[in-house]
Structure 1
Amino acid sequence: MSPTKPIRRVTLFKIPAEEDQQKVLAIYKEMPDKAKRDGQPYILSLAAGPTIEDQRNQGYTIAVISIFASEDDMKYYDNECEAHAALKKVAKPLLQGMMMVYFESIFD
């Protein structure tokens, strides 16, 4: 992977109860301001929302697209970010499944 291309991350959650989905989405809404590295926001872009009902969604109820400047920033998010740790604490007990992939766009 090239250190100059942004990392795009797609995360899907299976959280059946709409009330629980809203709890997780409320945390994501604050994530761009709360997630900081060296005192500065470091997530370049974040979009999250409930999936639209469709047979192809395979039961995933929330979709999130995060963009990081580097794979290192994404790893920081996974392993050290306090805001992400708070999200995981709320989301983990609600999950009935999750999937995450990340990539560099071939169009950049």
Structure 2
Amino acid sequence: MHRIYRMTFASVYPLYVAKAERKGRTQAEVDEIIEWLTGFGPAALQQQLDAETTFEQFFDAARLNPNAGLITGVVCGVKVQEIEDPLMQKIRYLDKLVDELAKGKTMEKILRTA
């Protein structure tokens, strides 16, 4: 089992927000990405953060967006579309979306609506 599976989502969430904010993006945009990918609206996301769920628990409770398979590209030197472990792939999907946000992509492109 990968170490990240046991890490709390709450411990990594501020890092996602900080990465976005360093590039002029907002916490609201990070939250929108998380909602798109997982189905967690603001209250559900806060509940996950307060409960300090692990990444494994976080994604077990999530309803993965049916368009998540459209997320492609490289994170940590690995193509996300080729990751065989379903949980690791979901984690890397989120990493990739936050990377795209930090790189200045539009929300429409990040959320695969354009």
Question: Shorter chain as normaliser: what TM range?
Answer: 0.3 to 0.5
Taking structure 1 as the reference length, what is the TM-score of the superposition?
0.33
Structure having the higher helix fraction is 2
From the CA coordinates, give the structure whose radius of gyration is larger. Answer: 1
* Structure with larger RCO (C-alpha < 8 A, sep 6+): 1
Taking structure 2 as the reference length, what is the TM-score of the superposition?
0.32
